[in-house]
Amino acid sequence: MFSLFKKDPLKTLEKEIKVKLEKARDIQRSGDIKAYALAMGEIDELQKKLDQMRSGVE
C-alpha cells in the first residue's frame, strides 16, 4: 500500500552522483587535484553500482 511513497533507488543514486559531480567540479576549480581524484574515484564506484542496478532491472 505504501510502495507508492517509496523512493526509487536508481533515482536516488543518480541524484547522489549528480551532487558529487558538482562538488568534484568545484574541487577541481579550486586546484586541489588529489581531492578531485578521490572524489572522482567515489563517483566511479557509484556509477558502477548504478550500472549494476540497471542491468539487474532490465
Nine-digit cell at 10?
Answer: 536508481
CA 29 vs CA 15, 16, 25, 33, 41: distances in Å: 21, 20, 6, 9, 17
DSSP state of 6: S
Could you tell me the pTM of the whole model? 0.82
Tell me the domain boundaries of the chain: 2-57
What is the pLDDT tens value at each position of the chain, 58 positions in all?
Answer: 566 778 888 999 999 999 999 999 999 999 999 999 999 999 999 999 999 999 986 5
